[in-house]
Structure 1
Amino acid sequence: MEEGEKRLKQEDCSEDVLGSGILTLTNKRLAFDKTRARMMDFSKHMGDTILDITLDNVTKTWKEGLLMKKVCFIVKTDDGEKIYKFGVFNTKSWLKSIDEAVANYKN
């Protein structure tokens, strides 16, 4: 993490395309780190950071789903806009935290 960066929320979750990993929200960015799990010894290992988005690139947030609830957001990238959908435990809390972090973001 950078200087002055604070972790606001973190959860082990899954994204529709990226698979399982850990979603982290800080006061400056959203990051997703891929994880690998082993059933033999019930261990989980951190992998590469495959998503690292500054909060000024988040253009829209929402939640969806009835049984499989997800927090979703659209981000601006060099290749255009991309949609990410994460299956987190408390979508309402995540949505509120992301919206507040985006509103309070200072570069």
Structure 2
Amino acid sequence: MDSDEKRLKQEDCNEDELGTGVLTLTNKRIAFDKRTSRIADFSTKMGDTVIDVPLDKVDVWKEGRFIKKICFKIKTDEDEKSYKFGVMGTSGWLEEIQDAIEDFKNQ
């Protein structure tokens, strides 16, 4: 993280295609670090950072009736990719990401 970057929210979660990991929101970006676990010895290891994108390239929304997910689309020059994360308190995540995006655009 940069010296002027602040972590706003971080949570263990599950992405539909990428699997389990840690979703992190800062005042500059959204990142997802993959995680692997073993049941035999209850160990957990952090893997690679799979998603690391500035907030100005993110659109966010919430979907689902019973199983709610926080979703975001990353726009690059070449294409767009959507991700769906199962997190606790999707409303809180949605509001904080939207606020962070607005603050980032106003800098």
Alignment root-mean-square deviation, CA: 1.2
Return the letter of the residue paired with 2:25.
L
Normalising to structure 2: TM-score of the pair? 0.93
Query: Which residue in the other structure is 1:20 paired with?
Result: 20
Question: Deviation digits for residues 4-52 of structure 1, max 9, x if unmatched?
Answer: 0000000100111111110000000000000010111212111100100
Structure 2: which 5+ residue stretches go unaligned? Answer: none
Query: Which residue in the other structure is 1:34 paired with?
Result: 34
Q: Which runs of 4+ in 1 moved over 4 A?
A: none
Structure 1: which 5+ residue stretches go unaligned? Answer: none
Give 1:77 shift: 1.8
Aligned length: 106
The CA distance in 1 between the partners of 2:66 and 2:42, in whole Å, is 27
Question: Deviation digits for residues 59-103 of structure 1, max 9, x if unmatched?
Answer: x21111122210011111243111111000110000000000000
For 1:86-97, list aligned pairs within 5 A: 86-97=85-96
Q: How many percent identity over aligned positions?
A: 58
Return the letter of the residue paired with 1:67.
F
Normalising to structure 1: TM-score of the pair? 0.93
